[in-house]
Structure 1
Amino acid sequence: MATASPCGPISTYSRVQILHLMQTRSPRTIGEICDATGLHANTVREHLQRLIEGGYVISATEHRTTRGRPRALYSAVTGAPGASSPVARDKVSAAARRGDILRRMLPATASDLDSDATHQLDALIEHLEESGFEPVIDDAQLTVDLTPCPHAAARPEDRPVLCRVHLGLMQGVLTEAGGPLAAEFVREPAAPEECTVQLRVTAVA
């Protein structure tokens, strides 16, 4: 079977780099992103706009206590309070509605997970499909099989960043959806095209 090509707002490695910077520390200014990536400011602005439209990044205006023009500050969407995106919230709600409709039409697709966890998986599946993956969920083992990984052909030195960014995005989707599931780690693959993410159940306050 042919390996799918990465798609969606994070289809370029430059956007992955930008997301990695913001997942490491937020907020970031355009100048900081330019310095870290070597990209031109106009290119960074274009990437940030796509990431905002995709629900992966939010922007805010700097609060200054001194004279000068406030800068735009950019942060990764994590689903936590203060780091949520209207786009991401809409995606989560729409995924839950579509999932509920599917389960009413095909009761056999329902799982033993509670409704919050089920809606988390609805949102996660749609996020991964948008990103070019073909996720297979094991409700019992709490695993997400993404084999064949669209990034298998990436340079070996780029794979760690790609994996960390995608794991962070998955965790952000699960947090945004709200529920007991969290993305824990990417299992060590036996072959480059293999990718399995381990989920876990967390205590919900």
Structure 2
Amino acid sequence: MTILGLIREAAGGLTAADVAARTGQHMSTTRVHLERLVDAGLLVKARASGGLPGRPAWRYRATATDPVPAPYRALAAALLDHVTGEGPDVRATAGRVGRDWGRQLATASPPTGDPIEAVTTVLDGLGFAPSVQPATESGQIPVHLHTCPFLDLVGKNPDAMCALHAGVIRGILEKHGAPTDGATLEPFGAPAACVVRLPPPDAMARVEDHLDG
């Protein structure tokens, strides 16, 4: 099977080490082939999370072919036209744009008193196929994003696009008066999904009670 075929069959994508192990190729040869597929627009890459210290490895996924909402794609493409490079400045700019867009998306969505439901409703409408997972020991609510219909744009600038999506989530929470501290988006945080981590529901409830008072 080809490298592209292997990665298309892997729901959570593969690292270069995974591909090298499955094909028997030397690691350097594997990396060259992977980067050529990225340059051709057939794969995208993002930093994989292995829960280990240090900079994680790249994980490669096949680009999505499903259509995505035109307004959001236009916004994302426009952002990439104005933001280049990587690093904290790029992430901060993309995050601010994402917050503004998230507030607008939350306003346009059906009203709900549950911030978690509001986040998943918007993300589902954008094509991320979210699913809420059991709360962690710290009380955080993980939401798995099983698809990313913007993978081709992510491949052009992972820092900007992932920060944009994280900003959208924080904007939705802000619109519902919920705290954004601790709201994060981890690319490839699960074997077959990116992971959104939302603040504990009791923290959101405390903010709502304060606002009501």
Shorter-chain TM-score range: 0.3 to 0.5
TM-score, scaled to structure 1 = 0.48
TM-score, scaled to structure 2 = 0.46
